[in-house]
Amino acid sequence: MSHNNQRREMIDGAAAIARGALDAGCNFYAGYPITPASEILTHMLRELPKVGGIGLQGEDEISSLGHCIGAATAGATVFTATSGPGLSLYSENIGLAIMMEVPLVIAISQRLGPSTGAATASAQGDIQFMRWCTSGGYPVIVLSPTNIPESYHLTNRAFKLAKRFRSPVFIATDKETVMTTESVAESEMLNAPNWPAILDEPVDKPLDPYQKNGTIHHYTGSSHTEEGHITKDPEIIAEFNERLKNKIGDQVDEIALVKTDLQEGADTLIISYGVSARSMETAVNQLRDQGEKVSALTVYSLWPVPEMKILGCLKGIKRVIIPEMNHGQYRHEIERLANENVDLIGVNRVDTFLITPEEIIEAYYG
Amino acid sequence: MVEPILDTYIAEENLPYEFCPGCSHGKVLGALSNSLKQQGLDPSEVVIVTDIGCVGLSDKYFVTHAFHGLHGRAITYASGIKMQNPELTVIVLIGDGGCGIGGYHLLNAARLNTDITVLVFNNFNFGMTGGQHSVTTPLDSITATTTLGSTDAPMDIAGTAKVNGGGFVARATAFDKDLPDMITKAMHHDGFALIDIWELCTAYYVVRNDFGRKEMMGYMDSMNMESGILQETERPSFQTSYKGIQEQASKQKPMSGLVLDTNFSSDIEKPVRIVLAGAAGQKVVSAGNLLASAATLSGLWTSRRADFPITIQTGFSVAEIVISPEPVLYSGIIKPDVAALIAPEGKAKIARLTKTMEESDTIYFADGLGDVDSPANQLPLEFPESAKKEVHKNISALTAGYLTKQLNLFPFEALQEAVRQIQKPKIAEINLGILAHFE
C-alpha cells in the first residue's frame, strides 16, 4: 500500500473539530478553558467573528452552556467543548436542552479522572457519564472519532444529528486525539467517508426560534404541551416524556454508525472505539499477519448503542475483547447483548498510557 | 410618547395570578406590562426570561415570547438570546434566590454588558420552597432555616451590579407609583440594566418577621440602601463592542491547515519512535515539528506529541515523534527506538522511558547527560566542530539536524525544506544557518 505522492496535512484533533463545526454552519460558541479542550475554544473564538458568528468565554461552564441554549432558542447553530470536570457543570443545562429540544453539539475531550485526576492524560472514562449525565436518564447521541479526519467528519455529522433530533449530541474524544499533531492525507479531510446520510427534516415538530414578527413561543424546562405551555396533566406529561425517549430510541438504526472488519471463520471479535480502536487495528493487522483469524468492530455511535450492528457482529463469536481506557464502561453494554456463553475480556488502562497493540495481542493469546 | 399597540401585555385569560394574597409579584408584573405599553413594543420582539421560584410562574401571564429555564441561570440564557438576535428586547425576571445561586452570573452579566434588563423580585426569602433564608435575608431574621435568627450579612444586589460595571442600576419597591417609568428607563439603557425591586412575601417573611411596607422602608434607610437610580453610565454594549471585533476579524484569513507536498522519499520499512527530551526554552517541540514535517515531506506518516509543565519557560519539554511508512495508528511511545537528551530536566522526565529501551536502541546525549540507567546504546551528540558555537542558539535544531544525518530516515534536504515551509522567515533563516554546519 503506497500513500506516497499525496498531499498531507499536519493537524491536530482540536483544529479538525473546530473546522468541522465551522463547516457545519456553527455560528455560536461559548465555553470555558480546560485542558485538553481549550484549543477548541481558542480556535472557535478566533474564527467565529471572522465569519460574522459569535464566540465567547463564559465565566464558568454553567453560563457557557446557558449562553448556548439561549442563543439556540434565538436560532443560532451552537457548539461547545469541555472535558470531564466541565461536563459535571454542564449537567443541569444538558437536561434543559433535552427538555427544550434545542440542537446542541458538545465535544468532550476526555482526560484521566476522577476529579482533577492526572492532568492531563488521555482517558475514555466519561463514556457512561455522557449518556447518563443529567436527571431523568433521557437518551442523548454520542459519536466517537478514532482519528483526525473522523474528528472533522463526525463533528460535521453531529450538527446534522443535533438538528434532526433536536437534542444534545456529544463528540466523545480525548486528549490524545485532540492534542497530538499528525500527518493525514488531505483527501481524507476533504472527502467525507461513505456514511449513510442523515435526513434534513427534524423529527417531530420543532419550535421556531424567537423572532420579531414571528409566532409567539414559550420555551420551558418544565413539562409542557406541544406549544410550550407548562402543564401538570399526567397524560400530556407521559406522552411528552415517551416521545423524548422514543425520538432517539426508535431511530437507533438511522443513528447507528460502525466500522466492521469481519474475518470469515473468526471466533474472536475485538470491539473498541475512539483512540483505543487504533491500537485495536494495529493488533488485528499483526494477528492476521501471524495467521490468526480475528474480527474487529469500531463503534462510532456509542449512544444509543447500535445493538443490531453489534448483534450482527457477534454471530458465531465465542470471545469478545474490549480495549478501552477505563474500567470497562462499554463492556457493560456488550455484556447485556452477548450470549452468556461468550467470553468477555476487557483490556483496560487508567495509568495515563494509551492501550498498546501488544496488550490486545496478549489478551488474544490469553 | 410612543403610540401604544396593546392595552396590556398580560395574558388575561390566565388571570387571576396564582400568587399568594398580598404578594407583591403581581404589582411588578403589572408595572412591566405598563412599561411595555409605554414603549409600544410588539409582543413578538419581547422575550421574558424567568428564573425559578415564585417569580418563575410569571411567563404564562405575558403575551410575549417566554423562556423558563433553570434556577439562577436566567441571566445566562437572556444574554445568549440577545447576543444571537439583537432585534429582540430581553427582560429577566429573577428572585433574590436566583441572585444568590446565580450571583456569579449576575455580576458577570454586568461586566459582559449584554443589552438586557434584569428585574429582581427581592422579597428576602425563598417563597416557593417554604420561606428559607436567601442572600438578601436581613440580619437576625426568622426564616424556615434560621429559626433563631439569620447570622449572614445580607447581599446588596444593586450594589453588586453597580461595582461590577452595570450601566444602569436602580433600587425600587413594588409599591413605587413610577415603577413602570423606571422599568422603561432601564430598558432604554443600551447595555446591562438592573432594578432591585423590594417586595413583601406575605406567606412567609412578612408573618415571621412582622415586616410590612413601613418596616421595609425603615430597613432600607437603616442599611443606607437608598432607592432610585444608583448608576447610569454609558459604555458600549456587548453587541456594539462585538460588532467592532467582527469587523476587524472579517479582514483576517480563515484558519487553514499546514498542507505539505510529499516531494522527497524514504525507504524505511517500519515505524521509528523518537523522543526529544530537553528543557523549556530550548525549542524542543519546534524541533519535533521539524522532524515530523521533514518525514511527512518524504512521504512518511507521523504523529507528534508534546509534553511540558503547565507553567511556561520552566522545567522539562519533551517531544515524542512517531515516523512510519504506514499511517500511524498507535501514537504512544512506551519504548523509544531513539532518545535524544539535551537537558537534565528532560533526561529526568523520560528516565522511565529510557530505562525500557533495549540494546538495539540508541540514546544520544548532550554534554554531561550521559551515563543513563538503560541497556540502550549510548552515544554523545557530536555536532560538527563549526556548529559548537551555535549550541546555545538552538540545540534542538542542531539535534534535529544531527539525528537526520545519523538515522538516515529521510533526506537532509527534507529537513531544510521543512524549516522553509513551516517556520517564520526570520526563524527559518537562523535555523537554515544552523543546519548548514552539517553540509
- Domain membership flag for residue B27: yes
Contact of B309 with chain A, judged by CB distance below 8 Å, is answered with no
- Domain membership flag for residue B426: yes
- Domain membership flag for residue B253: no
Same-domain check for residues B234 and B282 = no
Same-domain check for residues B138 and B42 = yes
Q: The C-alpha cell of B287 is what?
A: 524541533
Among A5, A210, A356, beta carbon nearest to B65: A210
Range of the domain at B163: 12-245
Cβ pair A181:B70 closer than 8 A: no
Same-domain check for residues B370 and B314 = yes
Rounded distance, CA A247 to CA A167, Å? 10
CATH number of domain containing B49? 3.40.50.970
Same-domain check for residues B188 and B305 = no
Contacts of A33 in chain B (CB under 8 A): none
Kindly report whether the global pTM for this prediction surpasses the value 0.95: yes
Among B66, B85, B259, beta carbon nearest to A9: B259
Which residue, among A8, A34, A39, would best test binding to B if mutated, counting the most B CBs under 10 Å from its CB?
A8
Please give the pLDDT value at position A2. Answer: 43
Same-domain check for residues B225 and B276 = no
Total domains in the fold of chain B:
2
Q: How many CB atoms lie within 10 A of CB B218?
A: 12
- Domain membership flag for residue B25: yes
Same-domain check for residues B303 and B417 = yes
- Domain membership flag for residue B85: yes
Contact of B7 with chain A, judged by CB distance below 8 Å, is answered with no
Please give the pLDDT value at position B1. Answer: 65
Please give the pLDDT value at position A3. Answer: 46
Which residue, among B81, B304, B335, would best test binding to A if mutated, counting the most A CBs under 10 Å from its CB?
B81
Please give the pLDDT value at position A5. Answer: 57
Please give the pLDDT value at position B418. Answer: 98
Residues in chain B predicted with pLDDT less than 50, given as ranges, are: none
Contact of A232 with chain B, judged by CB distance below 8 Å, is answered with no
Q: The C-alpha cell of A136 is what?
A: 431523568
- Domain membership flag for residue B112: yes
Same-domain check for residues B168 and B241 = yes
Mean pLDDT across chain B, nearest whole number? Answer: 96
Domains of chain A: 8-190 (3.40.50.970), 258-365 (3.40.50.920)
- Domain membership flag for residue B2: no
CATH number of domain containing B387? 3.40.920.10
- B159-213 pLDDT tens trace: 999 999 999 999 999 999 999 999 999 999 999 999 999 999 999 999 999 999 9
- Domain membership flag for residue B260: no
Please give the pLDDT value at position A1. Answer: 38
Same-domain check for residues B151 and B48 = yes
Same-domain check for residues B318 and B236 = no
Identify residue B193 by its one-letter amino acid code. A
* Contact between B66 and B59 (Cβ < 8 Å): yes
Please give the pLDDT value at position B71. Answer: 98
Among A3, A69, A220, beta carbon nearest to B68: A220
Rounded distance, CA B88 to CA B47, Å? 7
Rounded distance, CA B276 to CA B306, Å? 10
Cβ pair B262:A72 closer than 8 A: no
Residues in chain A predicted with pLDDT less than 70, given as ranges, are: 1-5
Same-domain check for residues B189 and B283 = no
Among B42, B259, B329, beta carbon nearest to A279: B329
Contacts of B265 in chain A (CB under 8 A): 4
Same-domain check for residues B175 and B286 = no
Complex confidence, ipTM: 0.96
Following DSSP, what letter does each residue of B147-197 receive, concatenated? Answer: TT---SPPP-HHHHHHHTT-SEEEEEETT-TTHHHHHHHHHHSSS-EEEEE
Same-domain check for residues B226 and B335 = no
